[in-house]
A and B are shown apart, each in its own frame.
Chain A
Amino acid sequence: MSRFRRIANLFSRSKTEREIDAELSAHVEMRIEDNIADGMSPEQARRDAGVRFGNRTVIKEQVAGEDAALVIENIWRDIRLACRQLAQAPGFTITAIVTLALGIGANVATFSVVDAVMLRPLPYDRPDQLIDLVPMNSRFPQDYSRNLSYPDYFDLRTGNHTLAHLVSYHDNSFTMTGVGDPVHVEAEIVAWDLLPALGVQPELGRGFLPEEEKPGTHVVLISHALWNSQFSRDPAIVGRSINLSGQLFTVIGVMPPTFRFPMTAPLNGIWTTLAADKAPGDSSTTRRGMHFLNAVGRLKPGVSMAQAGQDLSTISAHLKQQYPDTNSHIDSARVRTELSALVGDTRTALMVVLGAVALVLLIACGNIANLLLARMRERQREIAMRTALGAGRGRIVRQLLVESLVLSAAGGLAGCCLAFACTPVLLHLIGESIPRAADAGVDVRILAFAIGISSVAGLIFGVVPAVTASKTELVSLLKEGARTEAASRDWLRAALIVAQVAVGLVLTTSAGLLITSFLHLRRADEGFNPDHLLTLLFETPDARYKDTRPDFYRQYFEKVRALPSVQSAAGVMIMPMTSDNADISFEDPEHPTSEAQRPGANVTLITPDYFRTMQIPLLQGRDLSDRDTMTSPQVIVVDQAFAKQFFPGENVLGKKIRPGASNGPGDGPQWREIVGVVGSVRLSATQRELRPEMYLPSAQLSQWCCLHTVIRTSLDPHSLEPDARRLVASMDKEIPVTNVRTMQELMFMELAQPKFAMVLLGVFAALSIALTVVGLYGVMTYSIARRTREIGIRMALGAQRNHVLSKVLREAGVILTAGIGIGVLASLLSTSLLESMLYGTGARNPGVLMLVSAIAAITGLIAAFIPARRAASIDPMQALRAD
């Protein structure tokens, strides 16, 4: 007893106890008074009262036990009763649980991804103090894609008063040799104080020291994974030298297995200081116009995000005045939490999906509410009986709610199982398109969410039937028998279906828009032919190839072209579909401006034959050739968009421009003659507009590394991989080949995010249609079953079967029209949330709306037709005899 009591009295222990105490004392006091009145001495009276009463502590405990235990017992009794009731109607129970499992399961699975991506704190110390810093042009406040230059970064780091640390980082990669086979290692070049800024310790060894940013320092931290795979967890690794792309680096520490930085690069194996960017002849740390750095900072204690933003913006504005040539388009700084910077654009997609899946659950709840309302009719007598036996309204509502909650608990349990079974499929669909999504798994938040959403669902679908049922009019019910059903309940059920149709329509419209957009992306012309292309990447380290790159690549591509089944092959530095791009400005003598005002365009380096390999049409002039070398006249090829934007209506062939790309220090940018114009290419599958592009011959910029290899073959591209690897190894056995992918695979990865949103919304929309159809079918069947007698009388009085059929269909038509009308309105109001996820279609697409409405109307009428035909085939004699 006392155990129950402790559980139940957790909240109200003291109050209950005081009451019981008061009641028992009153009894004893009254007995004492009476005893004294009977002539006992006060002492005697007290003792007698105590003896008569018994052990007061024990009794108090027993009374409290009765109070608490009975509360629990009542609930337990309600639950058992609910289970019995549900077991008596297995058809209803199974339908409801399956419906709920689908709805809750989809929600839990989606939420587990949202949880992993958006809610879990970053795995660093006090992550809420970490900020992401982006330079801004206040004319484009939404552009978060800008990067810092080193000189700007250094000024911001030393000049600010609000940050404890500001750490620059950018990615890089190395070829590690001398330990087994050469391997390609992803790396990050960071400021020395990365670890103190994040509040992370190495697992072995130490972090960087401030003086290790000085040029000539070669120290690295390695990842646990790299330590494991390449050094077999050698405890003596610290202090050892390793060869990275031809340079010796000293390992100073090993990071713990859970360490990831940045979060978007889980494969990083090496971190080294920005001394790596200060190599002799490398001007990247001194050029203020070279923007390629990201920055993460830690706020000083007590400093707000806004204060830091203000502080850094002031410095930026100052730099703009000080260096107008390079900084005129950067006038402020934007500070966000590191987490929101990481989540970035995926927030919209995730929120849309989460919203959609919540709507699915809402529709499912509508269905179950409808089923419950139908069941209430059968249970009216039972409820009336219990009311007659003295059960209060509250008691009945409680019982019915407990039933709903038992249902939703069962549905929630089944839904969780479903969700955990489906999460791998979901993660596969998402792929690498959302950072941290792969971490999705069960945690406390997800369980809390599952319990919460199940209870909310149970209350939503339980409360309306419970309240209507408790309002059952006892007298009229007993007088008229079981055939009465409150008209308001009919109205409620129709309203529920109307709402379901409307919500389903919004979902289906959203899915339709995403599908339209995705088809647009798939169909869109890339500007090249992505079929039968194999791509791969390897590095040509400066240590050995600084000056011989053009020769090496020329020989290499000759050998590739000689491989069987190869039609053509070429190299390209920034390849389409790799979410990589570079933008440089150029000088145009016909439109002279100051340095900061110069126009910019995308740039990439290519070898001869690139256009033929990609099947990019050559519109004017010539392709680059092997005769374009360091010593020959400097040339450039531009695309159509470039010609149109910068030289509208002119012939660009023969014009000279000077792109800001030089071959090393002391060798300034060259004037280049435009020798060809090619068709425009989409750099990314989700690019909204074509950007002007400049193609520079890699043979004339020998110090730029590295080229992707693009091979066009007549066979399955992957069949070429072994030959290609062998070929590279035969030329330099220290170069590992990485990123072997077909162009189709790259496009597939680029489309992963739009595809994931589309597939999920498509599935949810299908689910919502199915649920709504089942719901409508149920309501129509029910309403006809209830009116069998009425229809029978009508038919006996001469109503035609067709007439009955059309009357029932008309009823369904009214529901559908109302639902579709509201749904279309709601869609028009809400789909603008999708705007940023749509390509090639607006958020209000009349075609999609019409198609979706038609689907809703047709499926709805089919769902209504079956019960309508059953109504039309009612035998009047039987209908009148029944009941």
Chain B
Amino acid sequence: MAKNDLQGALDLLVLKTLAQTGSLHGYGIVLHVQRASDDLLRVEEGSLYPALHRMEQDGWIHSEWALTETNRKAKYYRLSPAGRKQLQQAEKSFEQLVKGVRAVLRYA
């Protein structure tokens, strides 16, 4: 259960990042999460890739090879319609999780 939730959290971060930025490579996603979370969240960089490939197989994201600003070939990911739907669901269930956890923590 815990593992699923953590994985779910990583998926949520990736999907949200792609929803906000459009198209991004793995390294870009790492930097974006780090920056957007004010350095609070640091993704273990390597572990991002199995997740990306799994989501691609599930049809949530698509990928293509393109050049970076520094003329390096990198694999860019972007959200699919199914991924957008998945993002909505994931956001909802995450909010519920947070609400639930917070409620438990505040319970006196």
Contact = CB atoms under 8 A, between A and B. Distances in A.
B57 interface: yes
Nearest to A55: B46
Interface stretch (A26-34, A263-271, A318-326, A511-519): A26-34
21 contacts: A23-B74, A27-B25, A30-B25, A30-B27, A30-B70, A30-B74, A31-B27, A52-B45, A53-B46, A54-B47, A59-B49, A63-B50, A63-B53, A65-B50, A66-B54, A66-B57, A67-B53, A70-B53, A71-B57, A390-B81, A390-B85
B70 A33 contact: yes
B46 A59 contact: yes
Contacts of B85: 389-390
Contacts of A23: 26, 49, 74-75
Contact of A70 (B27, B30, B54, B70): B54
A26 B54 contact: no
Interface residues of B, number: 25
A54 B45 contact: yes
Given A66-B57, A67-B57, A27 B45 contact: yes
A53 B26 CA distance: 11
A390 B74 CA distance: 27
A66 B57 CA distance: 8
A420 B3 CA distance: 51
Given A23-B75, A55-B46, A70-B58, 6 more contacts: A24-B46, A54-B45, A65-B50, A66-B50, A70-B57, A390-B85
B48 to A, nearest CB: 8
Contacts of B53: 63, 66-67, 70
Contacts of B26: 23, 27
Given A52-B45, A56-B46, A65-B50, A26 B81 contact: no
Nearest to B74: A26
A27 B85 CA distance: 28
A19 B75 CA distance: 9
Contacts of A71: 57
A interface, by DSSP: helix, strand, loop or mixed?
helix
A56 B50 CA distance: 12
Nearest to B83: A390
A53 B50 contact: no
A747 to B, nearest CB: 69
Interface string A38-53: 0000000000000011
Interface of A: 19-20, 22-24, 26-27, 29-31, 33, 52-56, 58-59, 62-63, 65-67, 70-71, 74, 389-390
Nearest to B42: A52
Of A24, A27, A58, A71, most B-chain CB atoms within 10 Å = A27
Interface string B58-92: 11000000001010111100001110010000000
A67 B47 CA distance: 14
A390 B59 contact: yes
A22 B76 CA distance: 12
Nearest to A22: B73
A369 to B, nearest CB: 29
B38 interface: no
A59 B54 contact: no
Contacts of B72: 26, 29-30
Contacts of A54: 44-47
B33 to A, nearest CB: 13
A64 to B, nearest CB: 8
When A and B form their complex, which 3 residue pairs have the shortest distance between CB atoms, in order from nearest?
A70-B57, A54-B46, A59-B46
Query: Which has the most chain A C-beta neighbours within 10 Å: B44, B46, B58?
Result: B46
A589 B67 CA distance: 105
Contact of B49 (A24, A30, A55, A74): A24
B21 to A, nearest CB: 16
Contact of A59 (B25, B47, B74): B47
